[in-house]
Amino acid sequence: MSPKRIRLKDDFRLKLFENTLSKTNLSLFELSKKLNCSYSGIKTWRSGGRLIPEDVFTLLLNIADEKIRNEAHNNIVSRYDSNWGAKLGGDNSYKNRKKQIYSNMRYIRSFRQSPKIPKDSEIDTDIWELIGICLGDGCLSKYFSKYENRWQYEVLFTGNLKDDTKYYEDCIIPILRSKFDLRTNYHARTKENVIYIAIKSKRIFNFFKLLGMPVGKKKDKIRITNTMFNSSSNIKAAILRGLLDTDGHIFARKDEDYKYPHLKITSASNKFLNDIKILINEFNMPAYIHGDDVLIRGSKNLKKWMKIIGSSHPINNYRYKQWLETGKLLPKHQLSFELPNIQDKNHIKGS
């Protein structure tokens, strides 16, 4: 292990060297030879220009008077690792580089077009469908970034890479681009089978929050708000459509030969499930809650849902069409869709 470096109080450092030189009756140059160190080194240690290596300090104490040795402990200011200078230089370099990175980022951001926030008159069913999507598979996050030394505000959408890629391309991304002027991309994590869109914008964050999206973990906060309940039937339908396409699906049971259709929306919040049930009932469709699901059953109700509320998800629409044509609602694993060949975990779609 490399010896540490010692910082001494100035008066004691000079006293130590003077006592050692006096006791040995040597010049500073001769003392450097005796200690097997360079003359330039011992001069800078004596003057305080550099810290004294611990092994040299020990040799000096062994030569000095006992009184000096007894005073040594109380006159050591600090001990440093032998590579303390390199660490300090690295830290300073990192701080300077970090400042330069921040400066470059601010310069780049100055050319970035700010997102458009829709006016009240522009908040249409597409916006409310996006709110339904966010209530289903999205969230609002606010957190402090130590790297950037500032608060971050993020709107995040996540989905199933295999099932939702086409849905993101045909529904979510077009809405984000047309309503917010965002050059939105989706990202894929293939090993986790995850597709996601992350929007870091305080203005969009506040817009979604204003329309009823909770911040942080949704389970104990998520609700259909009074504003949503008091909206038009078209807006309510858009919210339910977004919920179905993200946290729900249509299906049929094997023991019923896949002929009797069901539609369900899933949530971990009992209050939110009850809100969804009430919203569905407003369209004169019977709904019931079972476990973590709110469901409707039967051919008549599924047809009514698809006529009044509908779905923007290509898998839901394909399976519904298949059921109309064949009388059977087969499970998803028996279907085949042409999806993009996504192999790179950093794959980005969109421009």
CB-count burial class (<10 Å; 0-12, 13-18, 19+) for 319: buried
Each residue's pLDDT tens digit, 307-327: 999 999 999 999 999 999 999
Listed in sequence order, the residues at least 6 apart from 269 whose beta carbon sits closer than 8 Å to its beta carbon are: 218, 219, 220, 222, 223
The predicted pLDDT at position 351 comes to: 31
Q: How far is CA 134 from CA 127, 128, 194, 232, in A?
A: 11, 10, 16, 19
Is residue 316 a contact partner of residue 244, using CB atoms and an 8 Å limit? yes
Q: How far is CA 237 from CA 228, 234, 253, in A?
A: 10, 5, 26
The predicted pLDDT at position 213 comes to: 94
Each residue's pLDDT tens digit, 249-293: 999 999 999 999 999 999 999 999 999 999 999 999 999 999 999
Examine the pLDDT at 10 and tell me if it is beyond 70. Answer: yes
Give the domain 5-81 fold.
434 Repressor (Amino-terminal Domain) (1.10.260)
- Same CATH topology for 5-81 and 120-334: the answer is no
Per this entry, what is the length of the chain? 351
Q: What pairs with residue 297 in β-bridges?
A: 262
pLDDT category, 345, cuts 50, 70, 90? very low
Q: How far apart are CA 132 and CA 314, in angstroms?
A: 17
Helix and strand counts by DSSP (H, E) for the chain: 15, 12
Examine the pLDDT at 341 and tell me if it is beyond 60. Answer: no
Examine the pLDDT at 129 and tell me if it is beyond 80. Answer: yes
Coil, strand, or helix at residue 58? Answer: helix
Is residue 239 a contact partner of residue 275, using CB atoms and an 8 Å limit? no
Pairing of strands 76-80, 138-145: unpaired
Listed in sequence order, the residues at least 6 apart from 157 whose beta carbon sits closer than 8 Å to its beta carbon are: 133, 134, 137, 138, 168, 172, 196, 197
Residue ranges per structural domain of the chain: 5-81, 120-334
CB-count burial class (<10 Å; 0-12, 13-18, 19+) for 36: exposed
The predicted pLDDT at position 343 comes to: 39
* Structure token pair of residue 296: 């409707």
Chain centroid to CA 63: 61
Examine the pLDDT at 58 and tell me if it is beyond 60. Answer: yes
For the chain, first and last CA: distance in Å? Answer: 54
Examine the pLDDT at 64 and tell me if it is beyond 60. Answer: yes
Coil, strand, or helix at residue 264? Answer: strand
Is residue 8 a contact partner of residue 64, using CB atoms and an 8 Å limit? no
Q: How far apart are CA 323 and CA 228, in angstroms?
A: 32
Each residue's pLDDT tens digit, 200-235: 999 999 999 999 999 998 888 999 999 999 999 999
Give the domain 120-334 fold.
Endonuclease I-creI (3.10.28)
Query: For residue 196, which phi and psi values (nearest 5 degrees)?
Result: -155, 155
Coil, strand, or helix at residue 3? Answer: coil
Q: What is the mean pLDDT of the chain?
A: 86
Q: What is the pTM of this model?
A: 0.67
